Amino acid sequence: MATFEEQAASAVANDVVAGVVVIAKDKDGKLDYSKSFSRKNGTVYNEDTVLALASMSKLMTSVAGLQVVEKGLITLDEDVTPLLPSLAKQEILTGFADDGTPITRKRQNPITLRQLLTHSAGLGYPFMHEEVAKFVAWKKLPPNAGTVDEAFDAVLLYEPGEGYLYSSSIDRVGQVIEKVTGQNLEDYMRQNLWGPLGMDSTTFFAAKYPNIQARRVPTAIRRDPKGPIIESSDEPWYTAGVKEPFGGQGIFSSPADYMKLLYSLLVDDEKVLKKETAALMFQPQLSPKAKESLLEKMKKPDWLIGKYTPTNEYDWGVGGILVDGDKHEFRREGYLNWGGAANPFWFIDRAAGVCGVFGIQLLPIFDPPTEDLIAAFEKEVYQKAGKL
């Protein structure tokens, strides 16, 4: 079987992808791997390439959410709705009348920070969940909303704490952070996360920083599932028109910067979180009902970037999906990962002592050739680290 590097080089040479950059490290300092692949006479990808991270933003915002808990500004299990009036008023959707009018009922449970951090607060995404999309269409919400309140002024889909749906809840975590600290999320991140880790290529607003904007790569698009990619600088991104930080989807960063966060969490150096707080990220956080809901969705994991074997050993930690058993081929218990809309991907496996980031900028999401490359990269990291 071809190695990851052979597969990546072939994919780039044959216009299957426009470029790829990967970085991996191990806890013992024996593995320090970095490799970039770019098309001949094409866009150059390297460690300092700036990517629109989309949902890979969620890890940073989740870490920041745990920081404000550490600071004693809020607890994981208190009701956050007094801080978020726009979320507090949302009711639970129970159906639609014959004329398309939504039928809702008031929620009974509070909404907690833990639920927001674990996508178990009742929220959904209109592009992923038909009921939310139908509600959004009925309410005529603007397609390019400038604020979190405008973008996600929708409806709950289940009683908070009693289900799981991947959602906009991390954008709400960003709002909680702003409320309890009195700081804009960009300023808070720069002071408490990016600054301490030396992440100087990271921001919610790339256009404001010429040095960052100049290193962004165009979005590659595969319009024909079996055809070549086309790069387009004109392709609108999710953050087009935003007026404030969206903690769940708005960050721009480089693979080198992102690795600084992954490595800090891997070696537990306490640069951004105390050891006892960081440990929560790698522990199951879902309620029994919420976990049952997640496991039902894991029977068909086509909503996830990467490969997931049917072990029934999944939960949600803080920041990503969590492996909570030992039946996987090489992922250990406590393994955490997530990705983003343009198919970038990260993972941390503290038990195996490895972490990695896969950088790419290609749509549509869940691109099969890219998923094959991610799987090959991840396995090769374990091999290089001697963990297979």
DSSP for 291-341, written as a single string:
HHHHHHHTTS-TTSSS---S-S-EEE-SSSEEE-SS-SSSPPTT-EEEE-T
Whether residue 86 lies in the annotated active site: no
Q: What is the distance between the alpha carbons of residues 260 and 248, in angstroms, rounded to a whole number? A: 19
- At position 322, the amino acid (one-letter code) is L
166-178 per-position pLDDT tens digit? 999 999 999 999 9
Single out the catalytic residue among 34, 36, 55, 169.
55
Find the helix or strand (DSSP H, E) in which 93 lies.
strand 92-96
Each residue's pLDDT tens digit, 257-313: 999 999 999 999 999 999 999 999 999 999 999 999 999 999 999 999 999 999 999
Q: What is the CATH number of domain 4-55+201-384?
A: 3.40.710.10
Instruction: List C-alpha distances in Å: 116 to 90, 166, 348.
Output: 14, 10, 21
Specify the pLDDT at position 25. Answer: 98
pLDDT higher than threshold 80 for residue 238: no
- The percentage of the chain sitting over the pLDDT mark of 90, rounded to a whole number, equals 92
Domain spans of the chain, in order of start: 4-55+201-384, 70-181
User: What are the tens digits of pLDDT across the range 322-365?
Assistant: 999 999 999 999 999 999 999 999 999 999 999 999 999 999 99
Model confidence over 61-73: pLDDT tens digits? 999 999 999 999 9
- Of 144-158, 161-175, 227-241, 304-318, the poorest mean pLDDT is in 227-241
